[in-house]
A = this chain, B = another copy of it.
Amino acid sequence: MKVIVDLCVVPLGVGVSVSEYVAACQRVIESAGLAHELHAYGTNIEGDWDEVFAVVKRCHEVVHEMGAPRISTTVKLGTRTDREQSMRGKVASVADKLATETEPA
């Protein structure tokens, strides 16, 4: 089962700056070889369910190992059985709608 997730890991007890923890998660995702894209409030990842969630778990382990005693994460996750979908396809689909609807008649 393929899944597209939006992962946002928030470490607690390490002050206000969390970018080094987010960077560590990026390296976890990259070393797993999964397609991913960082955005301003999380990272989108696409891949096989088990591989993606192994990465989510590894992110928690790594952020704890870096010294964060507590983590609160938000994940959005989408699956579908009617057809294949990619992160790129989702964005393109909205862009198409925007282009079409703003064209002159």
A79 contact from B22, B27, B64, B78, Cβ within 8 A: B64
Number of copies: 4
Please, how many residues of chain A have a CB less than 8 angstroms from a CB on the other chain? 57
Q: Please tell me if the beta carbons of A15 and B13 are within 8 angstroms of each other in the complex.
A: yes
| Given A10-B12, A70-B82, A94-B26: A39 in contact with B44 (beta carbons within 8 A) | yes
A20 to B5, CA, bound (A): 21
- A95 surroundings in chain B (CB, below 8 A): 38
Q: Please tell me if the beta carbons of B15 and A60 are within 8 angstroms of each other in the complex.
A: no
Residue A96 lies at the interface, judged by CB distance under 8 Å to chain B: yes
- A72 surroundings in chain B (CB, below 8 A): 8, 10, 72, 76-78
- Interchain Cβ contacts under 8 Å between A and B, 18 examples: A1-B61, A5-B41, A12-B16, A13-B82, A22-B94, A23-B94, A23-B98, A26-B94, A37-B40, A38-B91, A38-B94, A53-B53, A60-B79, A69-B82, A70-B81, A72-B76, A73-B76, A73-B77
